[in-house]
Amino acid sequence: MKKAAIIWIVTIMTVSCLLTGCRQQSMEEAGKPLEYTVVEPDEVPAELQAKMEESKEAGFKLTYRTQESLYIAEGYGKQPTGGYSVAVRKLMLNDSAIDFETEMIGPQSGEKVSKEPSYPYIVVKTEYREQNVVFK
């Protein structure tokens, strides 16, 4: 009797999954990707640029809002050489916040780089939103 009930439940679940497309979505996948542009250094608002300069040695995670735009900036602090860059992995709006994830990319093996320290960072601009930004 129990075996028949278990088979019946499994059958109903399987049919339900087939009819609804049964796709498990993780919490990280939930949300809406936001459009953005990477801001050139000479186009970063002066107030944000000043805050970035204050924190460039240790790194920073900053936001700056104007009436039309939201700027999100992340810096990785002092690196021993040149050749580093920063890429956006995710900029997503979910129910409670904006998720922002970047990654620092180091120099390629054998790549000629400056021997001077560098301070890799990225600034992106998206449409104005009230939600808090969560740096991942």
Query: Which tens digits make up the pLDDT trace of 12-44?
Result: 444 444 444 444 334 445 799 999 999 999 999
Q: What integer pLDDT is reported at residue 131 of this predicted model?
A: 96
For residue 6, count CB atoms less than 10 angstroms from its CB and return exposed for 0-12, middle for 13-18, buried for 19 or more: exposed
CB 114 within 8 A of CB 82: yes
Whether the predicted model's global pTM rises above the 0.85 cut: no
Cα separation, 120 vs 116, whole angstroms: 13
Structure tokens at 85: 């860059």
Regions of the chain where pLDDT drops below 50: 2-28
Q: What integer pLDDT is reported at residue 135 of this predicted model?
A: 98
Q: What integer pLDDT is reported at residue 82 of this predicted model?
A: 96
